[in-house]
Amino acid sequence: MTGTARPVAVLFDRDGTLIHDVPYNADPDLVRPMPYAAEALRLLHAEGIATGVVSNQSGIGRGLLTADQVRRVNARVDALLGPFGTWEVCPHRPAAGCTCRKPEPGLVLRAAHRLGVRPRDCAVIGDIGADLLAARAAGAHGVIVPTLATRWDEYADEPDAAPDILTAVQSLLSIGPDQEQAGGGPS
């Protein structure tokens, strides 16, 4: 992976990244973590790295979900994988023209602000191109973890792609000064 500094915070997309994507999920009992998600979050917490979630939830704007249902699903994710320092959700429909819906930078900027860090000190891990675009628009580092739902053109030439969430986190943590101390650089 490319990058110049170890992140101070890592922000995650929810559906397809942290948990299996169940479209417009209103049922906390359907929450299933993605492979290696628990290990990735344990590693970040052990390293003292702040974490947050940035998630488009257009089902609210479409009238398919309530904000309370999304909060209950998020609470289940938090119980299984957290704690997360912030949850930033865009409830708008895609055509609403808001500045928070990924690929716009609003969710990433809000999450960084709430965590008390600069966006450029954040990494965003997601499963689709909109996650990368939101990260870049906010000045953060984006990493894509493709799934079967990810279009090939969203990651074919992407230098910051990882086969799973744990590999993505391990790569992010090996960036920067710690890499040289571990024998990777000149002494």
**Beta strands at 141-144 and 122-126: parallel, antiparallel or unpaired:** parallel
* 29 annotated among ligand-binding-site residues: no
The closest alpha carbon to 57, from 43, 77, 41, 35, belongs to: 77
User: What are the structure tokens assigned to 72, written together?
Assistant: 């209950």
* 90 annotated among ligand-binding-site residues: yes
Helix axes of 37-46 and 67-81: crossing angle, nearest 10 degrees: 70
Alpha-carbon distance 163 to 91, whole Å? 29
Q: Is 157 a catalytic residue?
A: no
Q: Is 13 a catalytic residue?
A: yes
* 45 annotated among ligand-binding-site residues: no
Residue in 13, 153, 157, 160 annotated catalytic: 13
* Whether 22 contacts 33, CB under 8 Å: no
* 98 annotated among ligand-binding-site residues: yes
* 100 annotated among ligand-binding-site residues: yes
The closest alpha carbon to 77, from 27, 118, 112, 120, belongs to: 27
* 121 annotated among ligand-binding-site residues: no
* 122 annotated among ligand-binding-site residues: no
Residue 25's φ and ψ, nearest 5 degrees, are -70, 125
Residue in 15, 21, 157, 164 annotated catalytic: 15
Indicate which residues carry an active-site annotation.
Answer: 13, 15
Residue numbers in the known binding site are 13, 15, 90, 92, 98, 100, 127
Residue numbers in the known binding site for Mg(2+) are 13, 15, 127
Residue numbers in the known binding site for Zn(2+) are 90, 92, 98, 100
